[in-house]
Structure 1
């Protein structure tokens, strides 16, 4: 029996290597469709995380949740900007760890359904919150299911599709994030002239438009066959694989490859706990996953999260600041779509490293412009233009490719926990930067304005050094091949050319 599985696994591996993009789309159209449906839940997270940073400039929101200021009117104090930003990330952090524990027990499908039901209930809290503390509680509660979505979606996408489609479907997660941000920016721009409480309540209420249709759709989704194999449910895995592919695919060979990979990983590392992520070759894989996701923050993207506020502090008028905020997410959308064309031609490492280098240069340019005299009226527009260029390059390279890398680098048996750890290291950094960014930009605190680019450029440069020496190239490799290369401790810069003896 094991000899038969081994032979079928080899045939499936050969099929994966010879499959073209068109062959993958033709053989796995349903896998593509279901992956897109599951990943769409990320739109909700991208949508909401954009709201608060822009609400700080809304008069009605300032009056409801802010405090009077000496110059007249109301403002959200830096401490509450920090707390609300941290609240969302704390909730997401909790959700990511919950996902790591429960998804491997319940399965991707059931975990997604429970999370959609939870977010539908949690939205009531921020919508009806009477004060800032209640709003903070609401953000923490909503963050828990968002944390599940952020780690479950790329893991599911990486497990239901063949190697040739893996990069596209995992990077689609970033596109969903950008779509959510773009929708939020458009809604906020359209409501900025309102002066009543509905200027911020309508954006909160619009979050209810996603969970119900997604819940209904996912009720009919197939479970990940890789998860079913890990649970010993081989017959169910075969049925799930049939639902994900068409009849031209040799289902038995594909499932045999899953069984063979799972048994190989069990042989080199028996456990599936969080502790096992730090043992043997998995330690290196965990380091790479965590750093790849953390660099999303360390490259300077926290400024983009406060773009509207940054534009205002740079010297632009409120109307121009909101218009540019919409533009940045449009740039991000276009960048993510174009990243799929880069993935066709270049490897993940090449795209990620070069994108990070460009982002580093752009941050330094923003920083140097921040040193110019305040009397120069062209500086705010130049600084804002460079930030838009940063967003475009980020969403062309670092943003989407990160999802492909963390999904491919992690082992199949530890995927949920590895992605969870990586996402939570990212979330911890997000909490730190949510606490510090308002103080960097606030005129009553450090008031760095554009000079903040010097800070981020310096950190980005250190990330470039790490990426060059530590980030491997997983493009075109099956999960078993990646297991072998990590077990053999192949240097990162040799992954692309490394030959595996059959």
Structure 2
């Protein structure tokens, strides 16, 4: 009999159509989060919304006080911090799918409240708890795909799924543009109605999909884990390749299970800050914080209002244009992620966000610049910023934050990374009105100086400490961190444990005519 050493892995897009179909489906979970960013930001420039939650100026125009403006924008982010911190605990007991269902239920309840209430208190409450739902949806979507997709396509799949955030944002802006002229409550209620289908679809269909194979292994269900892995690899991997990947997952799950016996499971969160896990936690948190550190909330949360204050014409039209440029950035990165890797893409995105901040502030600081010229420059620079943000940060900070941790800590680490990111985003959204509001400091685009400095620090840190893990399995990444491999040596390091696991799987398959999960011992 011929010795089996390596299974067949077809890396073509056609052979892996199943995992891409699941990826596009899972993107529905992020649509509402993106839609919320695009729609709610635009509400603050709608007379129909301001007549209910704002005030009328002496000139007869409608406006909103800085306090409610802060809370409406920032409470969703604050709620996302809470939802992210809950990810590890919810995921440990409910799994990835039911974590998504819980987030969807919370979102639907909050949408009902926002569309029906005329009370600022109820609006604040719903903004906070829709953030909790969005935090769960964002983290569990990323975790599910991290643990189910083949190593080669992990970056592409995460880029594809997070593009739903930008798609949702763009659709929210387009609908806002169409309803912004209405003088009734329907101006903002119609956009809210569009939010209903996405979470409803998830609640009805998620139980039909398999749970993450790594989560099932971690919870002592190897037969279900193998069935789940076969579902995601069907058509792309032969049985030998499936068994080899499964054996690698099973070895890691067994090792982590042995470690859990030494401690209370509820105390696992403290392992994030011990030994080699501390390095992984620092990198995950740092890369997750990059979204906020480059000033994303300054541009994204207040874009429509910002353009309105800067007098660049129709703010709704220009914010849609810049967001479409951002979509181009997302689609561009799809073509290179499997060849270039995460590290270079993230650093390129940071630099494309850093330079426009400096130029934007400089244009509005320079004397003699005409308002028209400054407005054109603002639109161009914001477009470059949004392109860079979507190209290198929107998708990949979540990707890398989920790749760094050990399997039993992935939910906790991912949640912490996202929570810290949302915390800084909340601080940015909460303080930005004081800097740009004409009734406060009235800095306008000069606020970019602060974010230029912050972006420089972020880029420098990632340059020195972020490793490249393109094409590596999550178990290989775990092995390299446990062996304290320097960041620069990750691409060339040979993972011995993964080779041993593949060899064991090949021997197992060679000894069986029809490999079955019945032959698997429990983890």
TM-score by length of structure 1 reads 0.92
Query: Does the 8 Å CA contact 2:172/2:191 hold for their aligned counterparts?
Result: yes
- Identify the residue that residue 361 of structure 1 maps to in structure 2: 355
Shift of 1:25: 5.0
Map Cα deviations across residues 27-79 of structure 1 (whole Å, 9 max, x no partner).
Answer: x4333322332232111011012222111111111111012334433311111
For 2:109 and 2:29, locate their aligned partners in 1 and report how far apart those are by CA, in whole Å: 15
For 2:9 and 2:378, locate their aligned partners in 1 and report how far apart those are by CA, in whole Å: 45
Task: Return 467-476 or 88-97, whichever deviates more.
Answer: 88-97
- Identify the residue that residue 249 of structure 1 maps to in structure 2: 238
- Identify the residue that residue 476 of structure 1 maps to in structure 2: 471
- Identify the residue that residue 274 of structure 1 maps to in structure 2: 269
> What aligned pairs does 1:437-456 form with structure 2 within 5 A after superposition?
437-456=432-451
Is 2:301 the partner of 1:311?
no
Shift of 1:185: 0.7
Is 2:193 the partner of 1:196?
no
- Identify the residue that residue 62 of structure 2 maps to in structure 1: 74
Query: Does the 8 Å CA contact 2:348/2:388 hold for their aligned counterparts?
Result: no
In the alignment, which of 389, 392, 399 is matched to residue 394 of structure 1?
Answer: 389
Query: Does the 8 Å CA contact 2:75/2:127 hold for their aligned counterparts?
Result: yes
Q: How many residues align?
A: 486
Is 2:421 the partner of 1:433?
no
- Identify the residue that residue 21 of structure 1 maps to in structure 2: 11
Query: Does the 8 Å CA contact 2:295/2:428 hold for their aligned counterparts?
Result: no
Query: Does the 8 Å CA contact 1:261/1:479 hold for their aligned counterparts?
Result: no
In structure 2, do the counterparts of structure 1 residues 375 and 327 end up closer, same or farther at CA, with 3 Å as the change threshold?
A: closer
- Identify the residue that residue 4 of structure 1 maps to in structure 2: none
Map Cα deviations across residues 430-480 of structure 1 (whole Å, 9 max, x no partner).
Answer: 110111111111011111112111111111011111011111111121222
Task: Return 70-79 or 153-162, whichever deviates more.
Answer: 70-79
In structure 2, do the counterparts of structure 1 residues 379 and 234 end up closer, same or farther at CA, with 3 Å as the change threshold?
A: same
Query: Does the 8 Å CA contact 1:19/1:164 hold for their aligned counterparts?
Result: no
In structure 2, do the counterparts of structure 1 residues 298 and 64 end up closer, same or farther at CA, with 3 Å as the change threshold?
A: same
Query: Does the 8 Å CA contact 1:100/1:417 hold for their aligned counterparts?
Result: yes
In the alignment, which of 339, 342, 353 is matched to residue 348 of structure 1?
Answer: 342
For 1:243 and 1:146, locate their aligned partners in 2 and report how far apart those are by CA, in whole Å: 27
For 2:27 and 2:89, locate their aligned partners in 1 and report how far apart those are by CA, in whole Å: 20
TM-score by length of structure 2 reads 0.88
> What aligned pairs does 1:292-311 form with structure 2 within 5 A after superposition?
292-305=287-300, 306-311=302-307
Query: Does the 8 Å CA contact 1:129/1:138 hold for their aligned counterparts?
Result: no
Shift of 1:349: 0.7
Is 2:403 the partner of 1:415?
no
Query: Does the 8 Å CA contact 2:155/2:338 hold for their aligned counterparts?
Result: no
Shift of 1:495: 1.7
Query: Does the 8 Å CA contact 1:170/1:407 hold for their aligned counterparts?
Result: no
Query: Does the 8 Å CA contact 2:322/2:379 hold for their aligned counterparts?
Result: no
In the alignment, which of 365, 382, 389 is matched to residue 371 of structure 1?
Answer: 365
Is 2:49 the partner of 1:61?
yes
- Identify the residue that residue 467 of structure 1 maps to in structure 2: 462
Query: Does the 8 Å CA contact 2:152/2:338 hold for their aligned counterparts?
Result: no
In structure 2, do the counterparts of structure 1 residues 358 and 478 end up closer, same or farther at CA, with 3 Å as the change threshold?
A: same
- Identify the residue that residue 503 of structure 2 maps to in structure 1: none
Task: Return 197-206 or 88-97, whichever deviates more.
Answer: 88-97
Shift of 1:266: 4.7
Map Cα deviations across residues 282-304 of structure 1 (whole Å, 9 max, x no partner).
Answer: 11111111111111111121122
Superposed CA RMSD in Å reads 2.1
Q: 1:356 aligns to what SS in structure 2?
A: helix
Shift of 1:280: 1.2
- Identify the residue that residue 330 of structure 2 maps to in structure 1: 336
In structure 2, do the counterparts of structure 1 residues 275 and 490 end up closer, same or farther at CA, with 3 Å as the change threshold?
A: same
Is 2:183 the partner of 1:170?
no
Is 2:204 the partner of 1:216?
yes
Query: Does the 8 Å CA contact 1:316/1:381 hold for their aligned counterparts?
Result: yes
- Identify the residue that residue 148 of structure 1 maps to in structure 2: 136
In structure 2, do the counterparts of structure 1 residues 465 and 341 end up closer, same or farther at CA, with 3 Å as the change threshold?
A: same
Map Cα deviations across residues 225-245 of structure 1 (whole Å, 9 max, x no partner).
Answer: 111000010011112222222
Query: Does the 8 Å CA contact 2:218/2:257 hold for their aligned counterparts?
Result: no
Is 2:373 the partner of 1:383?
no
> What aligned pairs does 1:91-130 form with structure 2 within 5 A after superposition?
91-130=79-118
Is 2:257 the partner of 1:263?
no
In structure 2, do the counterparts of structure 1 residues 242 and 344 end up closer, same or farther at CA, with 3 Å as the change threshold?
A: closer
For 2:329 and 2:182, locate their aligned partners in 1 and report how far apart those are by CA, in whole Å: 32
- Identify the residue that residue 35 of structure 1 maps to in structure 2: 23
